[in-house]
Amino acid sequence: MLEIIKRFAPANFNDLLCLILICFIAVVWAVQGFGKLTLPNEVTGALIVTWTLLIQYYFRKKQGEG
């Protein structure tokens, strides 16, 4: 179990920050979907762009890259 946690744990601060942002954006979208939060369209657009850029960066990393 500890080996699995080590494998998926963030390796550095940038990875941790990315994980926090991805989780935060997902929570904001979920709360907005339930109607508990209303955000301007500009903010929603910025969240979509941020989500997309973070996901693209981490899925395009080559194996062994930091």
Give the pLDDT confidence of 43-59 residue by residue, as tens digits: 999 999 999 999 888 77
Residue 37: inside a domain, yes or no? yes
Domain that holds residue 23: 2-59
**Rounded Cα distance, 9 and 19, in Å:** 10
The string over 31-56, giving b where at least 16 C-beta atoms fall within 10 Å of a residue's C-beta and e elsewhere, is eeeeeeeeeeeeeeeebeeeeeebee
Confidence class for position 26, pLDDT limits 50, 70, 90: very high
Query: Which pLDDT score is estimated for 53?
Result: 92
Placement of tokens 């850029």 in the chain = 53
Q: What is the pLDDT of residues 10-25, one digit of tens each?
A: 888 888 898 899 999 9
Query: Which pLDDT score is estimated for 37?
Result: 92
Residue 54: inside a domain, yes or no? yes
The count of structural domains within the chain is 1
Residue 65: inside a domain, yes or no? no
Query: Which pLDDT score is estimated for 66?
Result: 57
